[in-house]
Amino acid sequence: MRAIDIIEKKKKNYALSKEEIDFMVQGYTNGEIPDYQMAAFLMTIYFNGMSYKEIADMTESFVNSGDTVDLSKINGIKVDKHSTGGVGDKISIIVIPLVALCGVPVAKMSGRGLGHTGGTIDKLESIDGFRVELSPEEFIENVNKYKMAIVGQTANLTPADKKIYALRDVTATIDSIPLIASSIMSKKIASGADAIVLDVKVGSGAFMKDLDDARELAKTMVSIGKNLNRNTIAVITNMDQPLGYEVGNSNEVKEAIKVLSGKGAKDETEVALTIASFMCLLGGAFDDFDEAYRDLENKINSGLALEKLKELIKIQGGNPDVVDNPELLPKAKNTFLVKSELEGYVNEIDAESVGISAMLLGAGRKTKEDSINYGAGITLKKKIGDYVNKGEVICELHTDLDSVNEAYEKILSAYVIKDQVPEEKPYVYEVIQ
Ligand code: URA
């Protein structure tokens, strides 16, 4: 086989065999195929797309390029969840205890934040003592005993995806649905998931800016799941503005605690309960979505969910007192108030700009090497649909910095305020299964 013939074939829009895809992926990963040939190959995929079968073969090849996590010693159906990335997205922290309470094992492997989106691992590390490095034995033991554990990703999972993603980043081939879908699904499959619930975000703060693209991405990932025998459901959710009111690490833990105590914002409560309900369905705890949803609401209202979060924090070495007393979480030194320069209804809050503003305040990383300030972040005081007067506070910036000009300008520009009342949009658009 020769790379040039495979590139030529895809250029002419013929379907590739599993062997041809594997030849390209493994050859590139081990250095036999150079960047320029892989770049050309990626561009042919960008323009000509791939069939569902080709995308599944590509995903499998990514999985086979590195280690895979063996969760076979965990009893039950291991259901993972993945979000395509949002701002203020603390859904994982909410769903882990909820799903575990239903007896479905949650063996979660999560990442750190980079750029405008935060990472669950960083958020949990804002809790004093919380350990995200567990040995494989401790991880498995905790899931069997408590039905939940979370670790940062350490194993050499999907190196092919890592290398190809870096090349996509500099060859304008990131925004290709076959490439995004295979990249995401390969990581979930390599981490040992039996079943997967995907939270596909759509809107200004998401990868997918419109519903048609989000639907296509969702369908593609669900088809990969079908092809590779992993039951997969995708939920398309709104990311036209940050989820909830808090952005930043300890801020988001605080808000997750609120949701689990039944006092959370409507948007993130609905998204979290929807994702958790589907995880419970795939894990075999319920047969009916509405029944699962109602049961999870009861678990919140009865206080059980909050107790389970305390247990999660405790078994991972963190201080569970933060649940009853969130004031124990790290706080930034300074708070700056952002005031509206206009009067009217909030029509848009560009989530990406909010994420960048939070990063500038110290809540996120510009590069992988940056350190973060757990107490830094943003509290939104106004969301889409709210009325604001001129001079009224629209959000608070929390930071250790003494001046915040850039972050202030960024968040001010994120708010679009107009005379007309904005159209109301759903929190959950569609479910693809
Ligand atoms: N997230 C991923 O993991 N991969 C992509 O290609 C895009 C988003």
Check if 177 has its Cβ closer than 6 Å to any atom of ligand 1: no
- Tell me the whole-structure pTM to 2 decimals: 0.95
Are 290 and 380 within one domain? Answer: no
- Tell me the backbone φ, ψ of residue 383, rounded to 5 degrees: -125, 175
Structural domain total, the chain = 3
Helix (H) or strand (E) holding 22: helix 18-29
Are 304 and 340 within one domain? Answer: no
Of ligand 1's listed atoms, the one at least distance from the Cα of 184 is 3
Cα atoms in the Cβ-side hemisphere of radius 13 Å centred on 83: 29
Q: What mean pLDDT value characterizes the chain?
A: 96
| Within a domain: 370 | yes
pLDDT computed for residue 215 by the predictor: 98
Are 139 and 250 within one domain? Answer: yes
Q: How far apart are the first and last CA of the chain?
A: 37
| Within a domain: 55 | no
| Within a domain: 67 | no
Are 152 and 269 within one domain? Answer: yes
DSSP class of 328: G
Separation between Cα atoms, residue 325 and residue 329, nearest integer Å: 8
**Cα angle, residue 410 at apex, residues 375 and 84 outer, rounded to 5°:** 70
Q: What is the mean pLDDT of residues 143-150?
A: 96
171-210 pLDDT, tens per residue? 999 999 999 999 999 999 999 999 999 999 999 888 899 9
DSSP class of 208: B
- Residues marked active site are found at 82, 161, 168, 183, 187
**pLDDT band with cut points at 50, 70 and 90 for residue 133:** very high
Are 232 and 256 within one domain? Answer: yes
CATH number assigned to the domain comprising residue 39: 1.20.970.10
Are 237 and 377 within one domain? Answer: no
pLDDT computed for residue 47 by the predictor: 98
Are 172 and 305 within one domain? Answer: yes
pLDDT computed for residue 280 by the predictor: 98
- Mutation test of ligand 1: which of 55, 164, 184 has the most ligand atoms closer than 8 Å to its C-beta? 184
Among 102-106, 357-361, 366-370, 378-382, the range scoring the smallest mean pLDDT is: 366-370
Are 308 and 207 within one domain? Answer: yes
Of ligand 1's listed atoms, the one at least distance from the Cα of 179 is 6
| Within a domain: 118 | yes
Cα atoms in the Cβ-side hemisphere of radius 13 Å centred on 250: 22
Are 269 and 386 within one domain? Answer: no
Strand duo 79-83 + 195-202: pairing: parallel
Are 280 and 342 within one domain? Answer: no
Q: Is pLDDT above 90 for 341?
A: yes
Alpha carbon of 14 to ligand 1 centroid (Å): 25
**pLDDT band with cut points at 50, 70 and 90 for residue 88:** very high
Asked which of 309, 324, 339 is the last residue of a domain, the reply is: 324
Are 150 and 240 within one domain? Answer: yes
Domain encompassing residue 371: 330-418
- Mutation test of ligand 1: which of 109, 112, 165, 191 has the most ligand atoms closer than 8 Å to its C-beta? 165
| Within a domain: 203 | yes
In this structure, the residue with its CA closest to atom 3 of ligand 1 is 184
Cβ of 294: how many Cβ atoms within 10 Å? 14
In this structure, the residue with its CA closest to atom 2 of ligand 1 is 184
Check if 184 has its Cβ closer than 6 Å to any atom of ligand 1: yes
> One-letter amino acid identity for 149?
A
pLDDT computed for residue 301 by the predictor: 97
**Cα angle, residue 252 at apex, residues 250 and 253 outer, rounded to 5°:** 65
- Mutation test of ligand 1: which of 55, 80, 109, 180 has the most ligand atoms closer than 8 Å to its C-beta? 180
Are 185 and 283 within one domain? Answer: yes
Separation between Cα atoms, residue 105 and residue 76, nearest integer Å: 7
Asked which of 289, 304, 324 is the last residue of a domain, the reply is: 324
CATH number assigned to the domain comprising residue 236: 3.40.1030.10
Alpha carbon of 315 to ligand 1 centroid (Å): 31
Residues 398-415 as b/e (b if ≥16 CB within 10 A, e otherwise) read bbebeebeebbebbbebb
- Report the share of the chain in percent with pLDDT over 70: 100
Q: Enumerate the H helices of 30-150 as residue ranges.
A: 35-48, 52-64, 91-101, 120-125, 136-146
- Report the share of the chain in percent with pLDDT over 90: 93
Check if 183 has its Cβ closer than 6 Å to any atom of ligand 1: yes
Q: Where are the beta strands (DSSP E) in 239-376?
A: 246-248, 334-339, 344-349
- Tell me the backbone φ, ψ of residue 49, rounded to 5 degrees: 70, -170
In this structure, the residue with its CA closest to atom 1 of ligand 1 is 184
Asked which of 308, 324, 340 is the last residue of a domain, the reply is: 324
CATH number assigned to the domain comprising residue 361: 3.90.1170.30
| Within a domain: 23 | yes
Cα atoms in the Cβ-side hemisphere of radius 13 Å centred on 96: 29
